[in-house]
A and B are shown apart, each in its own frame.
Chain A
């Protein structure tokens, strides 16, 4: 295993040991979220989508998570594909992505992004109410712990299937 990735995992463990998000700075939180996103992909079945040789993660907004995702991308593969992380600023850039992370620094509106999202794209956000608004997964903090909401309707609209092991941990929203 790559040394960097090992280091990265150590960071995650350290974060979990710390136990609370309040004690972590922005980068640590970003690392944790990136790890979650990486783990999401293990439980998501893209079905007939995602046929390219690359796995592209688009991040809307200038978020520290880009750095964390890049660390993973350089160490590991998703669905046995090379991982590319890119920042998206326009609706046109959304089309190529397999995963879109809508950070709280996104300058595009949620509705705009969703309207540009084609089936086969996993949408992940990090603001309260976004899952209800239509993203598949949304990070929330409950009791100082990072949790995630899942919108099953959004998932099925996107043509994706999420594993039960993932959904049992999720807070299901409509």
Chain B
């Protein structure tokens, strides 16, 4: 399952905005539908109560003069005016049915029982209404109406469909707006992220990240820029230090080497000559180290120049293997494979350096005696 934290910032912002608008619109539409349905019901109740009142007024004389036919006629006429009234009934003072009319093929209920003395009641798709028939402030009967609310179902469905369509439109719009607006927030962060990625990949510290805002993202970018600036300064100082140190080391070392070489040539005493040789060996090692340091500083400052030319690879291999073999007394270097006898284009000195380093490391970090392979 996708976790919220795994989603990118950009999509999070879009998701949040879309979700918020859907929730808000959902609530608003819900309230509107409920209000609408309720107001429709109230209107229906009002209109049916007034019809019941008119019926009550018009049926006073019918009850007074014991004329159910006229009342029934009136109820029948009512059906043509308001077809939604499926059952109407006039009862006398004692609650007995005085006149009634039902639409054919409709289920009718005992309305007085449903109403329990209330003036109206909704039961499922039916509305039941009752109104007293009064003459001289005396109740002489009641009018009951049963109204079917098929229209309500249609209205409800229509409203639901409309709300759904509007919700979808809102969804699309909020998505589009979110896509546009999130760019303002996320673009700056994403820019920073891209710079960090680039630095991690290349190790190269580029120019400062530009930003014009004054919010938290701006603070973050400023802090990042300051950090990068400090790192760059430190690196520069380190490079300078290496360059200076190696250079300053090289000069006295060359002088020492010259004198020790001279000493080596002049010394006749075997024991003394051995000491001088050892000193010379260590001077050579030190010289190589200084040279390596110089190379490093050259590489870092970009001053290293390659001397490109064509040379024979087999010659180079033989030379390096022999040179390494001469230095090592504990290891035997075995060269395998057939000579390729080809000229290659490159810096001969640097490739030789690489091979020598590889061999010297191999000798240094492997146990004595067994042969080391070099293809």
A-side interface residues toward B, CB under 8 Å? 1, 9, 13, 16-17, 32, 35-36, 39, 42-43, 145-148, 163, 165-166, 168-169
Contacts and interface: CB of A to CB of B under 8 A. Distances in A.
Given A39-B61, A166-B61, A17 B67 contact: no
A145 B66 CA distance: 8
Contacts of B67: 145, 147, 169
Interface of A is mostly: helix
B140 to A, nearest CB: 9
B96 A17 contact: yes
Interface string B76-97: 0000000000000000111010
A172 B61 CA distance: 16
B66 A43 contact: no
B147 to A, nearest CB: 25
B45 to A, nearest CB: 26
A8 to B, nearest CB: 13
Contacts of A145: 66-67
B60 A165 contact: yes
Given A165-B58, A165-B60, A36 B65 contact: yes
Contacts of B96: 17
A30 to B, nearest CB: 15
Contacts, number: 37
A32 B66 contact: yes
Interface in B106-161: 135-136, 138
Contacts of A147: 67
Contacts of A36: 64-65
A146 B66 CA distance: 8
Contacts of B70: 168-169
A168 B67 CA distance: 10
B222 interface: no
A127 B66 CA distance: 20
